[in-house]
C-alpha cells in the first residue's frame, strides 16, 4: 500500500464508491471532507489504517494542501445542487475545483480525476452549468492531463433521483413533476467509480461523458419507478410557468427566514436545467472508450426501492399469497 489517493468529497454518493474501489486496488485512501467525524463509515472499506477521513475545506488553500500532502493522485467529487451560505456554485464548483488542481500541480501530484456533469456550459443560463464548465477549464489549466468525467443523472442506493420521486409517490394519489418530456440517461454510481479508478491509475485521461444504456423522458423513468414500487399514481407534468412561481415563492421563503428554511424543492436554476436533455453528446468519448459496459437501472432499482412499496419487503410475499390456490 505505497500509493496514496486523496478523494475530495470522498464520503459522498460518488466518492464513497471510488474510495471503496481504490481500497480494493490496494491503495491508501485519504477521504477529505468537511466533517470527518461523520465519515468514519469509510474506514472499514480497507485494512486498518488504509482508508482515513481527514478535514478539508476546499475554499481554503492551506486546507486543500494539507489534505493532499504526499498524494500520488487526487479526485474531486465535490458538488452542490443549490447555493447555500458560503458554498455557492462559484466557490465550490469553479474556484474549489481549480484550487485543487492548482495545488495538485504545485505539489507534484501525478494524476487528477474531476467529476463534472453533462450539460457543463460556460454560456448556459444556468449558474450550475456555468460553474461546472468553469471548474473544468480551471482543472485543465493546471492539470492538462486530468480525466474529466461528465455523468448524466446518477442512480444507486443513496441517489437523489429515483429515491426522491419514490418518496413523493407515497404522499398521495398524484405525483407532480416538471420537465416530463426532458430526456435522461441515468448512469449507475459504481460504473462512474470504475471510470474514475482508470483515471487515478493512469489508464485513461481526457473528457468522457457517461450515460447508461437507456434513454427515456423523465416521465418514462417515473413510470418505471412506479412499477418497481408497485404504486399507481396520476403523474402530472406541471408547466414551467407554474414551476417559476413555485421556485420564486420558495426562494422568497428561504430569504425571509435567513436560510433557516432551505429550498430543496425546486429552484429557478434547476428549472433551466430541466429544459435541456441530460444525455451523452454525439461524438464524445464514453464508457465504450473505457471498455466498461454500463448497468441498466432495471437491474438494480428493486434492490433499494423496495422500501417504498406499500408493504415494503413483504410486498412480494403478499403478491404470491394472492396467487395461491386454496
CB-side neighbour CA atoms (13 Å) of 80: 22
pTM: 0.93
Residue 311 confidence (pLDDT): 80
Q: How far is it, in rounded angstroms, from Cα 187 to Cα 282?
A: 17
Section 65-75 average pLDDT: 97
Radius of gyration of the chain (CA): 21
Examine the pLDDT at 1 and tell me if it is beyond 70.
Answer: no
- Name, in order, each residue with C-beta under 8 angstroms of 170's C-beta and a sequence gap of 6 or more: 231, 308
Examine the pLDDT at 176 and tell me if it is beyond 60.
Answer: yes
Examine the pLDDT at 209 and tell me if it is beyond 60.
Answer: yes
Q: How far is it, in rounded angstroms, from Cα 153 to Cα 278?
A: 7
The average confidence (pLDDT) of the chain is 94
Burial of 100 (0-12, 13-18, 19+ CB in 10 A): buried
Q: How far is it, in rounded angstroms, from Cα 163 to Cα 160?
A: 6
Give tens-digit pLDDT for 74-85. 999 999 999 988
Q: How far is it, in rounded angstroms, from Cα 213 to Cα 147?
A: 22
Tell me how many degrees the CA angle 51-56-58 measures, rounded to the nearest 5: 125
Per the DSSP assignment, residues forming a β-bridge with 155 are: 188
Per 3-state DSSP, the chain is made up of helix, strand and coil in percentages (nearest 5) of 45, 15, 40
Give tens-digit pLDDT for 109-151. 999 999 999 999 999 999 999 999 999 999 999 999 999 999 9
- Name, in order, each residue with C-beta under 8 angstroms of 4's C-beta and a sequence gap of 6 or more: 27, 28, 29, 30, 70, 71, 72, 73
Q: How far is it, in rounded angstroms, from Cα 129 to Cα 116?
A: 9
Section 211-226 average pLDDT: 97
DSSP state of 68: T
Section 148-158 average pLDDT: 97
* Cβ(198)–Cβ(163) below 8 Å: no
Section 221-249 average pLDDT: 95
* Cβ(250)–Cβ(266) below 8 Å: yes
First-residue to last-residue Cα distance in the chain = 61
Amino acid at each position: 500500500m505505497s500509493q496514496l489517493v486523496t478523494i475530495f468529497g470522498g464520503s459522498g454518493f460518488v466518492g464513497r464508491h471510488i474510495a471503496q474501489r481504490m481500497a480494493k486496488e490496494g491503495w491508501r485512501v485519504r477521504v477529505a471532507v468537511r466533517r470527518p467525524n461523520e465519515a468514519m463509515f469509510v474506514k472499514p472499506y480497507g485494512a486498518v489504517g488504509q482508508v482515513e477521513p481527514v478535514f478539508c475545506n476546499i475554499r481554503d488553500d492551506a486546507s486543500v494542501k494539507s489534505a493532499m500532502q504526499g498524494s500520488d493522485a487526487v479526485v474531486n467529487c465535490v458538488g452542490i445542487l443549490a447555493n447555500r451560505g458560503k458554498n455557492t456554485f462559484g466557490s465550490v464548483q469553479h474556484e474549489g475545483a481549480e484550487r485543487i488542481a492548482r495545488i495538485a500541480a504545485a505539489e507534484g501530484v501525478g494524476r487528477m480525476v474531476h467529476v463534472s456533469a453533462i450539460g457543463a456550459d460556460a454560456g448556459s443560463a444556468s449558474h450550475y452549468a456555468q460553474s461546472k464548465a468553469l471548474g473544468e477549464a480551471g482543472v485543465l489549466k493546471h492539470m492538462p492531463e486530468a480525466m474529466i468525467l461528465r455523468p448524466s443523472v446518477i442512480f444507486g442506493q443513496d441517489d437523489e433521483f429515483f429515491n426522491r420521486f419514490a418518496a413523493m409517490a407515497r404522499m398521495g394519489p398524484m405525483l407532480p413533476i416538471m420537465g416530463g418530456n426532458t430526456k435522461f440517461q441515468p448512469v449507475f454510481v459504481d460504473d462512474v467509480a470504475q471510470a474514475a479508478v482508470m483515471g487515478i491509475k493512469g489508464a485513461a485521461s481526457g473528457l468522457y461523458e457517461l450515460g447508461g444504456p437507456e434513454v427515456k423522458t423523465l416521465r418514462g423513468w417515473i413510470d418505471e419507478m412506479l412499477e418497481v414500487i408497485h404504486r399507481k399514481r396520476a403523474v402530472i407534468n406541471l408547466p414551467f410557468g407554474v414551476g417559476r412561481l413555485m421556485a420564486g415563492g420558495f426562494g422568497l421563503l428561504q430569504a425571509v427566514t435567513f436560510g433557516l428554511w432551505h429550498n430543496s424543492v425546486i429552484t429557478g436554476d434547476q428549472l433551466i436545467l430541466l429544459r435541456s436533455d441530460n444525455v451523452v453528446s454525439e461524438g464524445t468519448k464514453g464508457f465504450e472508450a473505457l471498455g466498461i459496459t454500463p448497468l441498466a437501472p432495471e437491474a438494480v432499482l428493486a434492490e433499494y426501492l423496495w422500501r417504498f412499496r406499500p408493504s415494503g419487503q413483504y410486498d412480494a410475499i403478499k403478491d404470491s399469497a394472492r396467487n395461491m390456490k386454496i
